[in-house]
Amino acid sequence: MATKTLSSTCFLTLTFLLLFLVTGHQALNSAPYPVVVSTWPFVEAVRAAWRAVDNGLSAVDAVVEGCSACEELRCDGTVGPGGSPDENGETTIDALVMDGVTMEVGAVAAMRYVKDGIKAARLVMQHTEHTLLVGEQASVFAISMGLPGPTNLSSSESMEKWIKWKENHCQPNFWKDVVPKGGCGPYHAKDFVGLYDETCSNTTPVGNIRSSSHIGLHNHDTISMAVIDTMGHIAVGTSTNGATFKIPGRVGDGPIAGSSSYADDEVGGCGATGDGDIMMRFLPCYQVVESMRLGMEPKLAAKDAISRIARKFPDFVGAVFAINKNGVHAGACHGWTFQYSVRNPDMDDVKVYTVLP
Ligand SMILES: *[C@@H]1O[C@H](CO)[C@@H](O)[C@H](O)[C@H]1NC(C)=O
């Protein structure tokens, strides 16, 4: 009797051990890491990040590799140099990188004459105790830390675009409630009665009313990327050259942690794209990660973050992707069809997912 009990106990233990080994092995096979997720079908950028992380580089370094690839390729003309001229025809760069392990962030905004946005952001994170450097001083910092420059960030395409816009009386633009002296400004607040001529204001095009209208459907505007490395650590990054024909000095959501991207090693990450002037008021990526922390699935967390903005700005155009620590990813969008790209160990190459509003 005792022997029988012992042997059945042994059998049970062995069965459990076998089961454990089998399921453990399966879990290993379908390990979600490493994984790369990016806004838009920026396939080459995802491949670059994948190569880096698959070769054992950290999530931070892989994000930098991926976003750098987009800057070099000038993904859609709206990342890196040579795109999105401001009202003066100048291209400037905004970028951010965030380490989800340490919650360190490095960012540059309105950086002139230096094309390597994401690398400059990493230098801020790794070699300063600051989070965000801006404008000309960010350029001086980046160059002093070894990045190439000063470089002319304009291209023949961006100059051509800008000249056409000038010829079209500087329309569309980002002004509201103003009266320009002449077609393109200088602009004056309407309240300053007497500073402008009524008859003139009726014939001259003035500020645009809705800013979202210029975040065009073909203007894919921003790369935001998340990488989970083989250690299970997460990092995110963003790079953009901002809104086309922006008022000089404008900084959007790109270099704002929690808005364009956000990551916490304990939870997961998020990347955003769209009308940054509106999105940065809602910190959608912070919202996504915090919702996932409270137990929401990525899909619901992404939808919730977008619908919070849409309730207040029904015309806004934007999207987010979310990824949790199990490698589960999802996207949500408003006002346009969104695509995001993924590469994980189950895939032979980058896969592009389409999300409808
Ligand atoms: C920068 O490059 C653009 C396009 O090639 C050119 O039109 C512009 O004159 C250049 N600016 C300077 C300051 O060299």
Atom 12 of ligand 1: nearest residue by CA position:
152
Structure tokens at 250: 């404008």
150: nearest Cα among 158, 141, 159: 141
The answer as to whether 180 is a domain residue is no
Q: Is there a binding annotation on residue 89?
A: no
Atom of ligand 1 minimally distant from the CA of 152 = 1
Q: Is 154 in the pocket of ligand 1 (CB under 6 A)?
A: yes
Least confident of 39-53, 76-90, 120-134, 140-154: 76-90
Q: How many domains does the chain have?
A: 1
Please state the rounded mean pLDDT for residues 312-329. Answer: 96
Please state the rounded mean pLDDT for residues 324-340. Answer: 96
**pLDDT for 203:** 39
Mutate to test the pocket of ligand 1, among 159, 161, 166 (most ligand atoms within 8 A of CB): 159
Length of the chain: 357
Q: Is 163 in the pocket of ligand 1 (CB under 6 A)?
A: no
pLDDT digits (tens, 9 = 90+) for 291-302: 999 999 999 999
**pLDDT for 32:** 81
Q: Measure 82 CA to ligand 1 centroid, in angstroms.
A: 10
pLDDT digits (tens, 9 = 90+) for 83-107: 899 999 999 999 999 999 999 999 9
Q: Measure 91 CA to ligand 1 centroid, in angstroms.
A: 11
Under the banding of pLDDT at 50, 70 and 90, the label for residue 285 is very high
Partners of 218 in the beta sheet? none
**pLDDT for 209:** 41
Using the 8-state DSSP alphabet, how is residue 32 labeled? -
pTM for the model stands at 0.86
Under the banding of pLDDT at 50, 70 and 90, the label for residue 287 is very high
The answer as to whether 183 is a domain residue is no
**pLDDT for 77:** 76
pLDDT digits (tens, 9 = 90+) for 181-225: 667 888 988 765 454 444 444 334 444 444 444 555 445 579 999
DSSP characters over 162-230: HHHHHHTTT-S-S--SEEESSTT--EEETTSTTSS-HHHHHHS----S-SGGGS-TT----EEEEEE-T
Q: Is 89 in the pocket of ligand 1 (CB under 6 A)?
A: no
Structure tokens at 101: 């392990």
| Residue with the larger pLDDT of the pair 76 and 252 | 252
Q: Is 152 in the pocket of ligand 1 (CB under 6 A)?
A: yes
The answer as to whether 339 is a domain residue is yes
The answer as to whether 186 is a domain residue is no
234: nearest Cα among 337, 352, 113, 329: 329
Under the banding of pLDDT at 50, 70 and 90, the label for residue 17 is very low
The answer as to whether 319 is a domain residue is yes
Structure tokens at 112: 């002139």
The answer as to whether 276 is a domain residue is yes
Q: Residue 141 in contact with residue 213, Cβ under 8 Å?
A: no
| Residue 279 to residue 318: CA distance in whole angstroms | 8
Under the banding of pLDDT at 50, 70 and 90, the label for residue 27 is very low
Active-site residue set: 222
Structure tokens at 267: 């939870």
Cα–Cα separations (whole angstroms), residue 322 to 8, 143, 299: 47, 34, 7
What integer best gives the mean pLDDT of the chain?
87
The answer as to whether 188 is a domain residue is no
Q: Is there a binding annotation on residue 86?
A: no
Q: Is there a binding annotation on residue 251?
A: yes
DSSP characters over 94-118: EEEEEETTTTEEEEEEEE-S---HH
- CATH label of the domain that carries residue 280: 3.60.20.30
Q: Measure 70 CA to ligand 1 centroid, in angstroms.
A: 22
The answer as to whether 304 is a domain residue is yes
Is 70 exceeded by the pLDDT of residue 15?
Answer: no
| Residue 42 to residue 128: CA distance in whole angstroms | 30
Q: Is there a binding annotation on residue 99?
A: no
Q: Measure 11 CA to ligand 1 centroid, in angstroms.
A: 79
Atom of ligand 1 minimally distant from the CA of 155 = 4
Q: Measure 273 CA to ligand 1 centroid, in angstroms.
A: 29
pLDDT digits (tens, 9 = 90+) for 138-159: 999 999 999 999 999 999 999 9
For 77, the domain range is 33-154+220-355
Atom of ligand 1 minimally distant from the CA of 156 = 4
